[in-house]
Amino acid sequence: MGKFHLGSLLAAGAILAVGFSTQANAEGKHGMYANGEIRSGYTYLTPQSKAIQNDDFQNPGMIWVDDGATLYEAVDGKAGKSCKACHGKAEVAMKGVATTYPKYDEDTKKIKNIEAQVNRCRTKHMQAKPWKYESGQLLAMTVFIRHQSRGMPMNVSVDGPAVPFFQKGEKFYKQRRGALDMACSNCHIDNAGKNARANLLSQGQTNGFPTYRLKWQKVGSTHRRFRGCNKQVRATPYKYASDEYMNLELYVAWRGRGLPVETPAVRN
């Protein structure tokens, strides 16, 4: 993205004073994909892209669901256990779990996402090696776990011990960074619904992650998307699974409260 273009994009926003409210969900126009003015990235898709997500036989992300289902039943590690050996059927045990993630973790006194919990189970409970972040296995398992909550509303806890982490995530979201000196909020709040080059800016919600991106030709994690958005403004991205991205993921999940889990969503 060119500096000039982004500058003019923001200037246009300022002059027209087009705010968040103009993007309102006109009386159920977006159905289950919106909660008041909170809108899923789905609502910004072309009819063609929506059709790919709607049809499980066309949605390429479903391949990762299948891979995750296989891994869920596979014995691994020195304890000789599979995920299923402890948790039972995923359709029952994992239903609704993803709606509450990321969440505060008593053991580490930090925020953990699904990926972190899966690797905790592998190291602590299975005595297996953790899966590398963004590896095929960790993506497949995360897609599979989150898929068990498909259609259920996102509902993360941001009170109690989560408060300081939530506040850090919010600060990160609103902080300008990179050579273009832009915050997440400049694009996904101030300019949602407008074009940034060929891209229609959405609210940057995470309810569909890990998401199948037509551009990536595979599924990618929330943290991959965060890294991409940091790079767009020429800021140095943080590491996968960094505390910064865990806190940010909590804040962004809260922004999307009430949106349905869509995993695996399809996006451009």
Q: Collect all residues with Cβ–Cβ distance below 8 Å to 92 and sequence separation of at least 6.
A: none
CB 45, min distance to ligand HEC, A: 9
Q: Site mask, ligand HEC, residues 145-184, x = CB under 6 A?
A: x------------------------------------x-x
Q: Identity (one letter) of the amino acid at 212?
A: Y
Q: Are 132 and 138 in contact (CB under 8 A)?
A: yes
Q: Determine if 219 is a binding residue for ligand HEC (CB under 6 A).
A: no
Q: Which two tokens stand for residue 252?
A: 């962004």
Strand partners of residue 219: 212
213 backbone φψ class: left, alpha, beta (φ>0; ψ -120 to 50) = beta
CB 41, min distance to ligand HEC, A: 2
Q: How many Å apart are CA 224 and CA 156, to the nearest integer?
A: 21
Pick from 158, 201, 246, 250 the residue near ligand HEC by CB under 6 A.
Answer: 201
φ, ψ of residue 220 to 5 degrees: the values are: -140, 155
Nearer to ligand HEC, 139 or 252 (CB): 252
Q: Find the catalytic residue in 86, 184, 187, 229.
A: 229
Please indicate whether residue 229 is annotated as part of the active site.
Answer: yes
CB 188, min distance to ligand HEC, A: 5
CB 105, min distance to ligand HEC, A: 8
Considering only the stretches 14-22, 25-33, 150-158, 203-211, report the one whose residues sit in contact with ligand HEC under the rule CB under 6 A: 203-211
Q: Which two tokens stand for residue 140?
A: 């497949």
Considering only the stretches 18-26, 27-35, 47-55, 204-212, report the one whose residues sit in contact with ligand HEC under the rule CB under 6 A: 204-212
Q: Collect all residues with Cβ–Cβ distance below 8 Å to 7 and sequence separation of at least 6.
A: none
Q: Three-state DSSP class for 100? A: helix
Q: Three-state DSSP class for 242? A: coil
Q: Determine if 229 is a binding residue for ligand HEC (CB under 6 A).
A: yes
SS3 labels along 138-175: HHHHHHHHHHCCECCECCCCCCHHHHHHHHHHHHHHHC
Q: Determine if 188 is a binding residue for ligand HEC (CB under 6 A).
A: yes
Q: Determine if 25 is a binding residue for ligand HEC (CB under 6 A).
A: no
Q: Determine if 141 is a binding residue for ligand HEC (CB under 6 A).
A: yes
CB burial of 77-93 (b: ≥16 within 10 Å; e: otherwise) equals: eeeebbbeeebeebeeb
Considering only the stretches 12-20, 22-30, 148-156, 195-203, report the one whose residues sit in contact with ligand HEC under the rule CB under 6 A: 195-203
Calculate the CA 67 to chain-centre distance: 20
Q: Give the residue numbers annotated as catalytic, written as ranges.
A: 229
Q: Write out the residues near ligand HEC by the rule CB under 6 A.
A: 1, 6, 41, 81, 83, 85-87, 97, 114, 117-118, 120-122, 125-126, 141, 145, 182, 184, 186-188, 196, 199, 201-202, 204-206, 208, 211, 225-226, 229-230, 232-233, 248, 252, 267
